[in-house]
A and B are shown apart, each in its own frame.
Chain A
Amino acid sequence: MKSNRVLLSILGWVIGFIIFFPILWMVMASLKTEIEAVATPPSFFFTPTLENYFVVQSRSDYLNYAWNSIVISVFATLLAILIAVPASYSFAFRPTKRTQFKLVWILSTKMMPPVGVLIPMYLFYKNMGLLDTHLGLILIYTLINLPIVIWVLYTYFKDIPQEILEAAQMECDGLLNIFLYILLPLSKSAIFSTSLLSIVLIWNESFWSLNLTAFEAAPLTTFISSYSSPEGLFWAKLSAASTLAILPIMFLGWVTQKQMVKGLTLGAVK
C-alpha cells in the first residue's frame, strides 16, 4: 500500500517533469547566447544572460502584441459565452428530436482542417476590411471556440436537475428572472472555468492570427513566429519571445488552477 503510494508519486513527478521539460528548456535557451543555444551537446551549465530579452523588446513592441492577445482573447471569450449560454440552455432544457444531431454537427465543425477554408476566409476578410483588425480576430475566435464552449456548458447544464428549474418556473415569471436568480448562480463556476479554457485556447491559437494579421491586431503567437524568419532561426531570441508570450497565460493558469481543474473535470467526477 505504502510502497504503491511512493511509486505513484514518483511516476507523477516523472510525468510532470516530462510535460514541464519543454518549458524549462525554452526558458533555459532564452537565457543563453545564440551560439550556446544551438550547441551540441547542449550545455546545462552556462552563464545566464538577459540580453535576448532586451533585444526582443527593442526589436519588436512586446506590449503591443500582449495587449492584442488580451483584447482578442477576452472579448472573443465574452462573445462566445454570451452566445453559448442561451444555446446550451435550450439544448439542455428544451431538447427536441434533433438536439443530439445539432450538438454533434456543431462539434463536427471542429474537425475540419482550418486550411481548407483559408482562401475564402482570407478573401472575405480582405473585402470586408477585417484583415489585421481586432474585430476580425475576435469574430473568428468566437466562432472557432463556440462549439467547445457550448459543449462544456451543455454538459454542465445537463447536470442541473430539471425539477429545480421547474420549481423556479412556478415561482418566478419570465426566463430572465430564472436565469438571473437560479441558473446563473448555479453555474457561475462552470461559466468561469469555461471562460478560462476559452481564453487559453485563443491565446495559443496561431494559424488564423498568422494569416489574418500583420502588426496592428497581431497577438503574441505572431510575435513569436517573427523570430523564425527567412533571415534565419534565432533560437535564443525565439525562446525569449516565447517565454514572454506564455508568461501572462501561465500566471493566469497558476492563479486559477483550482477553477480550471474543476471545469475540465465537470461531469466526470460527481
Chain B
Amino acid sequence: MTIQELDAIRQKKKDLIAVRRIVREQGEKLAEKTGYRKQVLVCGGTGCTSSHSKQVIEQLEKSCKELGIDDVLIVKTGCFGLCALGPIMIVYPEGAFYAQMTPEHAKTVAEKHLVKGGEIVKELLYSGTVMKDGSIIPFAETPFYKKQMRIALRNCGMIAAEDIDEAIAAGDYAAIEKVLTTMTPDDVIDTMLKSGLRGRGGAGFPTGRKWAFAKASQGDVKYVCCNADEGDPGAFMDRSVLEGDPHCVLEAMTIAGYAIGAHQGYIYVRAEYPIAVQRLRIAIDQAHKYGLLGKNILGQGFDFDIDLRLGAGAFVCGEETALMTSIEGHRGEPRPRPPFPAVKGLFEKPTILNNVETWANVNPIIMNGADWYAGIGTQGSTGTKVFALGGKITNVGLVEVPMGTTLREIIEEIGGGIPNGKKFKAAQTGGPSGGCIPASLIDTPIDFDNLAKIGSMMGSGGLIVLDEDTCMVDIAKFYLEFTVDESCGKCTPCRIGTKRLLQLLTKITEGKGTPEDLDKIQALAEHMKASSLCALGQTAPNPILSTLHHFRNEYEDHIYNHHCTAGVCKALLSYHIDKDKCIGCGLCAKNCPVNAITRTDYIAPGHKLGSFEIDPNKCIKCGVCFSNCKFKAVEKK
C-alpha cells in the first residue's frame, strides 16, 4: 500500500467516523453526507458479549430487514467502558444511549426509532441520559463520560473493531506515516522523551528512556514486545484496548521498531481473553494485507512484523524478564537485572517491552506533539491514565482521566458514588502490588508519585472501591493468598516470605493473633522488599503494609477483642435470629444450604407462626439467611 492509498481509505470513511464524535445538529447534517441516516453502535466487548450483545445485533439486523430499513449502519464495536450496563447500544447522530438491551428491546428500537421519522425510545435509554425535565442528553454529556479525557481509549467503542478501514479513518496508521516520511529514529525517541510518557504497566519507567537505551545497544537483531498479559485482577483496560482498537497497538510497536532498529515484535497476550486474541489475529492479518506490517511498509523501505504469543495464566509473567523467558517457551521465571532487557532481553537480544495502554498513547503523541502531551496531567506524570473502576461503586467501568485528578472526582462524580447508601472506606490501587487509600485521603490528586507517597502504587490502574462492609485485614489476606499462589518460587524471600505473611494474617483473622505478630509482619515485609528478585516479591507486602498503616485499629480489633470490625472474618462471627423480630416466614430455613435453621415453639407477640433458630454447630456462616431476611431478624455478631 502506498501513502496515497492509505489516504484514500481515510477520506472515504472520515465522515462516517466523524458523525460519532459530533452529535446533535451538526451530526445530522454530516450523517446525510455519509449515506447512512443513522448509525447504531453495539458493544461487542467481553462484558457485553457475556450479556448477549450478539443476539441484540442479530435481532437489529433482522428487524431492519423486515422493516425495509437500508440506510442504517450497524457497527459492532469494542468496549465502551460501562460493562455493568451492558449490552450497550448508541444511536448516532443523536448519541442516544440505550443500556441493558435485549433482543426484544432491539426490535422496539428498530420499529420506533430507526425507521424514517422515528423518535428515541425514552424508556429504554440509560437513566443517566434522561434529565428530570424529560429532556435527553447524548452519551458524551453524561457525568460518567464528560469528565473523562480519552486519549488511550479514543477509539474504543467508537469504531468497528474488526474493520481496518474504520481504524484508518479514525486516525490509526497516520502516525506511522508521519514517522516514516518525516522523522528520523532520533526524532521519534526525542518526542517520546519530551512527552514525559511513563510506562502504564506498573513501574512507571519513562518510555522514551527505555527506547533510547535499546537504540544505543549494539546489535543487528532487536525485539519490540507488547505486554498484554494483564494479570492484575480487577484491571481490564488492556483487554478493552485490544478488543476495541487493536490496530493502535500494532502501529505503535512498528513505530518503536523503527526508532530502535528492530524488525520483529511479539505480543504476549492472556489466553483468558479469547475475544482480544481473535481481534488481534484479525488485525494482524489485515495489516499484512494492506502492507502496514511486513516488508517495505508504506513503500518506505522499513520492514516490521508481529507475532502473537499466548500466556498460560501466570501472574509473574507480567514482570518483563519473566515475560521474555515465557515467550522463549520456558517456565516464566524472572531473571536478575542487570543486564536489563534493553541490553540483553528476549533471546538474549536488546528488547523493549511496553504494556498495551502505553502503546495506545504513542499515536496521539506523535500526531499532536510532545508538548501537547506534556501539557496534560501533572509535572512528574504527564498525560492521562485509564482506571478500571470496580468493586462497590455505582458506575463500574473504564474511565480515562488526566493524571492529577482526585480520587473524589473519580469515585463521586464519574463513578456515581457508593451504591446502597454505604460509606466509602478505602480504594485499592495497584492490585496485589499496591495498597489501600483510606477515605481521609480521598482528595489526593492521583499520579505515580503521590500514590507511592501514601504507600500504594499506580500499578496497571485497577481501582477497587471498598465500602464499610469490607474487612481490611481480610483484603490484605486476599492479596497475600494471590501472591502465594503466583510466586514463581525462584527466590527464597518471595517464596517463603509470602507464605509466612499469609500464615500470620490467617492467625489474626481467626482471632489467634498476638500483638507481637504485627511486629513480625513489619520486619518480614521490609526484608522481602529489600531482597526479593523481582517486583512481584518486592511489592507483595504492600497490601499489608498499607492497611497496617492506615487501618491498624482493625488489626488490633481482631487481636485484642477477637472481633472483626466489618463483620467479615468467619471465625469471629456468629449468626443469631432475634426471636421477637422473626415472623416465622421460613425463608431463611428454606435457603439454608446445611439445614441449620429450624422452627421453635415460640411465637412472637403480634405474629402467628413460630420463630426460627440457628444451630451454631451446623451453621457454616455463609450469610445466606442474613442477606435474605426482609425483617432484619437475622443478626450478625
Please determine whether chains A and B interact with each other in the same assembly: no
Residues of B within 8 A of A (CB): none
